[in-house]
Amino acid sequence: ISIDFTFLNLVTPQNMKKRLCKRKKLNRYDQFSMSFYKKVQDGFIKIFKKKPKKYMKIDSNMSIKDNQNIILNKIIELI
The pLDDT tens digits of the residues spanning 54-73 come to 999 999 999 999 999 999 99
pLDDT average, residue stretch 17-39: 88
Single-letter amino acid code for the residue at 11: V
Q: What is the mean pLDDT of residues 40-66?
A: 94
Please calculate the CA angle 56-11-44 and round it to the nearest 5 degrees. 50
pTM: 0.77
Give the C-alpha separation, 60 to 16, whole Å.
10
Collect all residues with Cβ–Cβ distance below 8 Å to 57 and sequence separation of at least 6: 8, 10, 48
User: Average per-residue pLDDT in the chain?
Assistant: 91
